[in-house]
Amino acid sequence: MTARTIDGKAFAATLRARVGDAAADFTARAGRKPGLAVVLVGEDPASSVYVRSKGKATLAAGMESFEHRLPADTGEDALIALVDRLNADDAVDGILVQLPLPRHIDERAVLTRIDPDKDVDGFHPVNAGRLATGIDGLVPCTPLGCVMLLKDLHPDLSGMEAVVIGRSNIVGKPMAALLLKESATVTTVHSRTRDVAAHVRGADIVVAAVGIPAFVKADWVKPGATVIDVGINRTDDGLVGDVDPAVAEVAGALTPVPGGVGPMTIAVLMRNTLVAACRRAGLPAPAGL
């Protein structure tokens, strides 16, 4: 069996177009465009590329883009002062502080300073708490993108066996929360799990978010399972995922790297910015986003 390829790039393009339509509608009603501020500290080349592509996607969706590039030696106080200004700026609906931050800055201090209702990354503990308890909030982009791809394939996830590999605050934990909300039976496995393969073998859905190239092996995967590869590992062989390519011989469907989850992350960021803008303006949430 050869897995069907889940075309995240095409799905993301469709989502971005729908966000663009909704953004035009917002602009007509609110008299201003939705606005996204992206903050980059330092000059990490990969981060710089991401920030540029986020800025381009924002403009392409008919939204305002505010880019703040700060030198690598920017102090934590100066970064927090910028976050405060963005929190108070009515033209800014979404704030994204690109991670990782330089080591001398306490990530938590910065992320908890962002107004939860402008937190389009969904990393603020208030939004994590909302997600965990079923209150509408802003949901982390990568896991929400994964759920959109999964529901496209399996409109009803209820009762499915899902295994999430990894327990980070940015992917693993919110991914498990979203799958639980969809009534899947969710298991999170991690570096201390005794037998990862045994758990994966029982899964209808596998989400790999460990950051280890080719970690998930073909003989772990149940024939026909749907496998979502969140890994973005830069190696000498280029960009590779957390899933061994041989998994394609066993899985029913598989996201490629690149062209799978990555483009969804940016499309959902656009979606979250629009949702934040609508809530802030007291406009109804756009249907179907």
Ligand X SMILES: Nc1nc(=O)c2c([nH]1)NC[C@@H]1CN(c3ccc(C(=O)N[C@@H](CCC(=O)O)C(=O)O)cc3)C=[N+]21
Using CB under 6 A, list all residues that contact ligand X: 50, 96-99, 121, 141, 232, 239, 257-259, 262-263, 265-266
Q: Say how far apart CA 221 and CA 228 lie, in whole Å.
A: 12
Which CB, 169 or 193, lies closer to ligand X? 169
C-alpha angle with apex 154: 3 to 19, nearest 5 degrees?
100
- Does the active-site annotation cover 90? no
Catalytic residue (choose from 93, 115, 119, 121): 121
Which CB, 3 or 232, lies closer to ligand X? 232
Residue at 7: amino acid letter? D
167 annotated to a ligand binding site = yes
Catalytic residue (choose from 33, 93, 98, 229): 98
Give min distance, CB of 141 to ligand X, in A.
5
Comparing every residue's Cβ against ligand X, the nearest one is: 262
Which CB, 238 or 284, lies closer to ligand X? 238
168 annotated to a ligand binding site = yes
Give min distance, CB of 156 to ligand X, in A.
27
C-alpha angle with apex 249: 245 to 255, nearest 5 degrees?
55
**How many C-beta atoms surround the C-beta of residue 285 within 10 A?**
12
Q: Say how far apart CA 10 and CA 146 lie, in whole Å.
A: 14
Residue at 36: amino acid letter? L
53 annotated to a ligand binding site = no
What element of type H or E holds 69?
Answer: strand 64-70
150-153 contacts, C-beta under 8 A, 24 or more apart: 150/205, 150/226, 150/228, 151/182, 152/6, 152/11, 153/6, 153/226, 153/253
135 annotated to a ligand binding site = no
Which CB, 226 or 265, lies closer to ligand X? 265
Give min distance, CB of 174 to ligand X, in A.
12
> Which residues 6+ apart lie within 8 Å of 85 measured at CB?
none
Residue 2's Cβ-side half-sphere holds a number of Cα atoms within 13 Å equal to: 1
- Does the active-site annotation cover 217? no
Which CB, 179 or 232, lies closer to ligand X? 232
Residues in the chain: 289
- Does the active-site annotation cover 54? yes
Catalytic residue (choose from 54, 118, 173, 222): 54
Give min distance, CB of 16 to ligand X, in A.
12
Give min distance, CB of 142 to ligand X, in A.
6
**Binding-site residues from annotation:** 166-168, 232
Residues taking part in catalysis: 54, 98, 121
**Binding-site residues from annotation for NADP(+):** 166-168, 232
